[in-house]
Structure 1
Amino acid sequence: MMCFHGGNRRVYNRLGGPSTAPTDSSKNQKVCYHWRAGKCNRYPCRFLHGEVPDPSAAAAAATANGSGSPKRFSDDSGFSGPAARRGPNYKKTRVRKTEKVCTFWMQGQCTHGDRCKFLHSWSLGEGFALLNHLDGHQEFVTGICWPGSETLYSGSRDGTVRAWNTSSGECVSVVNLGGEVGCMINEGAWVFVGIPNVVKAWNTQTNSDFTLSGPVGQVYAMATSDDLLLAGSQDGTILAWKFNALTNNFDPAASLKGHTRAVVSLVVGAKKRLYSASVDHSIKVWSLDTLQCLQTLTEHIDVVMSLLCWEQFLLSCSLDQTIKVWVATEDGSLEVTHTHSEEHGLLILRGMHDMESKPVLLCACNDNSVRLYDLPSFSERGKIFAKQDIRAIEVGPDGSGLFFTGDGTGFKVYKWAEAEAIATS
């Protein structure tokens, strides 16, 4: 908009340069009041439906691209699409945003609106959207699982497991376990919950439940393989139970020792391999046939927080601010083939496919955020923010496009958009 001040009167020039109309028709040089409000229905209208760009901005653009013509926009049309149709105060409210959520907006108290330099959103990026935010837990959410029924389960350090109706988003029941939930997983109809010194097992179809004793301290990680349930505990031991179909119970099967401090992540990979990550900075590779340790990986220099098996690769993340990608050599041992560095410590890795079947890596950092990356390029897809550290990430059933992030205020439900929706947005 080009605006000249003459006393208290403003005169707006026509698009394309100075007006050549006679002075007695200067009333036609005014911008239509109704057009600015998006309500003009007169055709033709005797007032202007457009405004002249600020010449100082055009000059700055020419300087920026080192040419004598204005810098063109990304669509190479010379216009910015919808932004070109915004009202005369658009330039005054356009603010360069920082990648930080406004703390006042979180509390519903920000008075700056669009002029705020901080984000008024829980995410950055395209192709996914927040569907719901489910509150109720009083402490960090540490586990989320969805057996595929109409009920989703969440566990928390507040010592409870909550069941949520996936259609209404309402909490339908609360179970008080009497101890902090360290982790949750599900296998088929079974839901397993790790709390101090025990693992709780529920069958959501038969409503049967079991208490599996043996762990020493908090159970931070669990995994399943065939008929085995494995749990990593605070004392560094990995316990295994085998499901007995005859007795409909879980029998103790083995105790895997080797870590010197707490086991915080377990994942089962190809060739019947179990991978364990520990506070002792190491990753151990175990054979599920022999239950023996095959290799110890020590390239991380801080706590190894999470592991992920993706095709033939093993991915690990650590508080040392790195993600390492491991691949098997000819002799079967693992070595690092790529290291991705972050500015903050990393807490959780999860992998999924978007609605175009593209692989996406979700990485929770200890700055209250989740980074989303395309694999294998590690090009950034977006960021998700929270008020507190995100201690749980889980993905929905294949093809659903759903994923969940849990923090100290509850958990949020996100969904990838269909390819057609992204193309037309």
Structure 2
Amino acid sequence: MKKTKFLLFSWSSSSKRNNSIEQQRRRSSNELTTLTTTGCSFYKLPTEILIRILHHLNTAANVLQVAQTSRCFYNICYDHHLWHRLFSKQYYPLLTPPSEQCFNLYKDHVELDKRWARGDAHVFYMNNEDEHDDSVYATAWINSQTIASVSRDRSIKIWDIETRNCLFTRKDAHQGSILCLTLMQPRQEEDIEEEKKNELYAVTGSSDSRCIVWSLPNWNQVRQFSAHTHSVLSVLAINDAMVATASRDTTIQIWRITDGKVCHVLRGHTEAVNAVKRLDNQRIVSASGDGTVKIWCIKTGVCLETLTSDIGGLSCMQVINNRTIWAGGLSSHIQIWESTATNVSVWKTATVMNSGHTNLLRAIDSLKGKVITAGYDKVIKVWDSETGKCLLNFQSGHTSKIFSVLLGRTNIISAGHDKRIMVLDFAHQLSKELARR
């Protein structure tokens, strides 16, 4: 594998390597000469046919090896469409044409993978002239280059990651600290007005016990929801029309965004519900300071199963691939549950592992096989979601407790008590296309 990567992206030469390439070219030339004498020259095939043949190669290493056999194949092997297919197969589909050659994009992604593996990130902070006046409690993606943040100072801010500048501020958005935030996908109803189909909405929750629905990009208030009797600690967009909110009043409420009507009040926890997440189209999951995780039916509001933790009260939770739940809290441990069946609520404790954190675990996020955790010890850790192995450990980026983390393809974003929003950028000076989510 190391040899493959050297062939791909190391352009330094050595006599041994040159001799090897020269031998390959001579061998290829002899073979093609033989083919020519029998009237079957490969070179006489149309370029489109040769490219179609190369499309049957499964790896970039194979393509680069063919490129070394002759000048003809060298030119053909850098075909844009060929590398577009290889990139989409190995990494993720390119839904829109990239702004640069796909070979360069592929090469940059190989470098990105190396940087993730060795923890090589460029660190910077959002512009401190525009920072919040108090603790930042939550952040959320608007798109791959823009995030929203909410704070104890009762404001909402929108940030451009590339320029590091604040694009917009909504002051006094709530009457209390804003504790949580979620973005909703555009509504999909068939009878909805055409101009509203692409509208984005956000929902915030506050210590004033209210939730507010906002229309983007101007963050105009659409409606309020105030059925809780205590702080709203977590908010979840179940789909494009329904929201779940979790509160210090020990309940979860499911309500419609269109009219604010409460569909279900979920009762069963005995302490504050600190997190609510989507499990699948039919179920949501909640985690509480009472040390339990509960799985609920969205349609009926019935509790389907209660999972009791071995690590005490829970303050954060993440669902991975609809079948694994990670939860953390007061102890330095992370508890993981795995589903034993996809359509039935049958769960088992996969492991209780020492996270290495030395204080309360406050935030978890995940993406594409990675999980990140952070908390009051000011440390950010990156984990392999399949093996549970700790891959990276970042310290000293914040001067106080971390309350929120976001994981992107190319970066980690964290925020907390020190009012700063920090970015660990693994794609510094690489293609901006890599940040697409």
Q: Report what 1:179 is aligned to.
A: 176
Taking the aligned partners of 1:379 and 1:420, their CA distance within structure 2 comes to 27
Q: Report what 1:393 is aligned to.
A: 405
The residue identity in structure 2 corresponding to 1:380 is: C
Whether 1:304 aligns to 2:314 is yes
Q: Report what 1:39 is aligned to.
A: none
Task: Report SS of the residue matched to 1:146.
Answer: strand
- Residue 394 of structure 1: how far off its partner (Å): 1.8
**In the alignment, is the contact (CA less than 8 A) between 2:295 and 2:305 conserved in 1?**
yes
- Residue 138 of structure 1: how far off its partner (Å): 2.7
Cα shift readout 1:185-239 (whole Å, capped 9, x = no counterpart): 1113211111121001111047542211111111111112122101001110111
Taking the aligned partners of 2:311 and 2:256, their CA distance within structure 1 comes to 34
**In the alignment, is the contact (CA less than 8 A) between 2:304 and 2:345 conserved in 1?**
no
From 347, 358, 361, give the equivalent of 1:346: 361
Which aligned pairs between 1:168-247 and structure 2 lie closer than 5 A?
Answer: 168-171=163-166, 172-176=168-172, 177-188=174-185, 189-195=200-206, 196-205=208-217, 207-209=219-221, 210-226=223-239, 227-244=241-258
Taking the aligned partners of 1:124 and 1:412, their CA distance within structure 2 comes to 20
Which aligned pairs between 1:2-41 and structure 2 lie closer than 5 A?
Answer: none
Whether 1:154 aligns to 2:144 is no
Taking the aligned partners of 1:310 and 1:419, their CA distance within structure 2 comes to 30
| Paired positions, count | 287
Taking the aligned partners of 2:184 and 2:376, their CA distance within structure 1 comes to 28
Q: TM-score, normalised by structure 2?
A: 0.61
Taking the aligned partners of 2:118 and 2:176, their CA distance within structure 1 comes to 38
Taking the aligned partners of 1:378 and 1:169, their CA distance within structure 2 comes to 33
**In the alignment, is the contact (CA less than 8 A) between 1:142 and 1:184 conserved in 2?**
no
Distance 1:377 1:228, change over 3 A: same
Taking the aligned partners of 1:320 and 1:230, their CA distance within structure 2 comes to 27
**In the alignment, is the contact (CA less than 8 A) between 1:141 and 1:155 conserved in 2?**
yes
Taking the aligned partners of 2:379 and 2:230, their CA distance within structure 1 comes to 29
Taking the aligned partners of 1:127 and 1:378, their CA distance within structure 2 comes to 21
Q: Report what 1:119 is aligned to.
A: none
Task: Report SS of the residue matched to 2:305.
Answer: strand
**In the alignment, is the contact (CA less than 8 A) between 2:126 and 2:161 conserved in 1?**
no
Q: TM-score, normalised by structure 1?
A: 0.62
Ranges in structure 1 where 5+ consecutive residues have no aligned partner: 1-122, 354-358
C-alpha RMSD over aligned residues: 2.6
Which aligned pairs between 1:69-88 and structure 2 lie closer than 5 A?
Answer: none
**In the alignment, is the contact (CA less than 8 A) between 1:300 and 1:320 conserved in 2?**
no
Distance 1:420 1:139, change over 3 A: closer
From 128, 137, 141, give the equivalent of 2:132: 137
Task: Report SS of the residue matched to 1:270.
Answer: coil
Taking the aligned partners of 2:285 and 2:163, their CA distance within structure 1 comes to 38
After the TM superposition, which of the residue ranges 269-278 and 134-143 deviates more from structure 2? 134-143
Whether 1:367 aligns to 2:377 is yes
**In the alignment, is the contact (CA less than 8 A) between 2:311 and 2:333 conserved in 1?**
no
Whether 1:324 aligns to 2:335 is yes
Cα shift readout 1:99-150 (whole Å, capped 9, x = no counterpart): xxxxxxxxxxxxxxxxxxxxxxxx9952433243443223221111232287
- Residue 173 of structure 1: how far off its partner (Å): 2.2
**In the alignment, is the contact (CA less than 8 A) between 1:328 and 1:334 conserved in 2?**
yes
The residue identity in structure 2 corresponding to 1:351 is: S
The residue identity in structure 2 corresponding to 1:377 is: T
Task: Report SS of the residue matched to 1:250.
Answer: coil
- Residue 320 of structure 1: how far off its partner (Å): 2.1
Taking the aligned partners of 1:207 and 1:361, their CA distance within structure 2 comes to 30
The residue identity in structure 2 corresponding to 1:298 is: T
Task: Report SS of the residue matched to 2:245.
Answer: strand
Ranges in structure 2 where 5+ consecutive residues have no aligned partner: 1-115, 186-199, 432-437
Q: Report what 1:417 is aligned to.
A: 427
Distance 1:251 1:168, change over 3 A: same
**If each structure's strand is expressed as a fraction of its own residues, which one has the higher value?**
1
Distance 1:206 1:182, change over 3 A: closer
- Residue 348 of structure 1: how far off its partner (Å): 1.5
Distance 1:207 1:418, change over 3 A: closer
From 392, 396, 412, give the equivalent of 1:403: 412
Distance 1:131 1:327, change over 3 A: same
The higher radius of gyration belongs to 1
- Residue 297 of structure 1: how far off its partner (Å): 1.2
- Residue 329 of structure 1: how far off its partner (Å): 3.2
Distance 1:381 1:127, change over 3 A: farther
- Residue 336 of structure 1: how far off its partner (Å): 0.3
Taking the aligned partners of 1:150 and 1:384, their CA distance within structure 2 comes to 22
Q: Report what 1:337 is aligned to.
A: 350
Taking the aligned partners of 1:276 and 1:365, their CA distance within structure 2 comes to 19
Task: Report SS of the residue matched to 2:171.
Answer: strand
The residue identity in structure 1 corresponding to 2:150 is: G
Taking the aligned partners of 2:428 and 2:391, their CA distance within structure 1 comes to 15
Q: Report what 2:47 is aligned to.
A: none
**In the alignment, is the contact (CA less than 8 A) between 1:147 and 1:191 conserved in 2?**
no
Taking the aligned partners of 1:402 and 1:371, their CA distance within structure 2 comes to 13
The percent identity for this pair of structures is 19
Taking the aligned partners of 2:273 and 2:388, their CA distance within structure 1 comes to 27
